[in-house]
Amino acid sequence: MTDNVSEALQNLVAAIAMRERTIARDQLLASLDAIEPPGKRTAARPTNGRAKGEKRDPRVLARTVTALHQAIQAAPGSGIEYLGKQMGTPTKDLTLPVKKLLAAKRIRTVGHKRATRYFPKG
């Protein structure tokens, strides 16, 4: 008998919690609709200030390439995660500067994928 009462109570609490979540969600959506109608919402901009697919300013890219080269000279043999932390730049934003430095033969790499280490050339 006690198990039946306990199970019934658990089911009742779960149903009440589900109803409260639904009400809260509906109220939140209604308040968002009051601020901006549905269909007009835009995705949040990335933290780097660029829209998806938008190219970087060439001057900013050149500064990033120079800063990355200096970081590699200061810490030869470091991985991209370490360099990104040192520069305060997401590793995703360092992919193109690395490619430019490799194409210009200003750095060399050892290893593959996440184990890649970067060294200054010369």
State residue 6's pLDDT score: 86
Q: Report which of 99, 103, 97, 105 is spatially closest to residue 121, judged by C-alpha positions.
A: 105
Residue 50 placed within a domain: no
State residue 92's pLDDT score: 92
Q: Give 62's pLDDT tier (boundaries 50, 70, 90).
A: very high
Residue 109 placed within a domain: yes
Q: Is the pLDDT of residue 33 over 90?
A: no
65 and 104 share one domain? yes
Residue 9 placed within a domain: yes
Q: What is the CATH number of the domain that holds 73?
A: 1.10.10.10
Residue 102 placed within a domain: yes
34 and 65 share one domain? no
Average pLDDT of the chain to the nearest whole number: 86
What are the pLDDT digits (tens) for 74-99? 999 999 999 999 999 999 999 999 99
77 and 28 share one domain? no
State residue 47's pLDDT score: 53
What DSSP assignment string belongs to the chain?
Answer: -HHHHHHHHHHHHHHHHHHHHHHHHHHHHHHHHHHS-TT---PPPPTTS--TTPPPPHHHHHHHHHHHHHHHHHSTTB-HHHHHHHHT--GGGGHHHHHHHHHTTSEEEESSGGG-EEEE--
State residue 74's pLDDT score: 95
32 and 74 share one domain? no
State residue 3's pLDDT score: 80
Q: How many domains does one find in the chain?
A: 2
Among the ranges given (17-26, 29-38, 51-60, 79-88), the one the predictor scored with the smallest mean pLDDT:
29-38
Range of the domain at 68: 58-120
- What percentage of the chain has pLDDT greater than the value 70? 87
